[in-house]
Amino acid sequence: MNAGIELCKNTEMTNDEFREFSTEWAGAWNAHDLDRILIHFSEDVTFVSPMATLLMPESGGVIRGKRMLEEYWREGLRRIPDLHFDVIATYVGVDTLVINYRNQKGGLVNEVLELDGHLVVRGNATYLDDPSHSGDASSDPA
Q: pLDDT for 27-69, tens place per residue? A: 999 999 999 999 999 999 999 999 999 999 999 999 999 999 9
Contact between 41 and 34 (Cβ < 8 Å):
no
Q: What is the pLDDT of residues 69-99, one digit of tens each?
A: 999 999 999 999 999 999 999 999 889 999 9
Whether pLDDT at 137 is above 70:
no
State percent of the chain over pLDDT 90. 73
CATH class name, domain 15-129: alpha beta
pTM of the model: 0.84
Contact between 41 and 120 (Cβ < 8 Å):
yes
Q: What is the mean pLDDT of the chain?
A: 87
Contact between 64 and 128 (Cβ < 8 Å):
no
Residue 101's Cβ-count burial label (10 Å; 0-12, 13-18, 19+) is buried
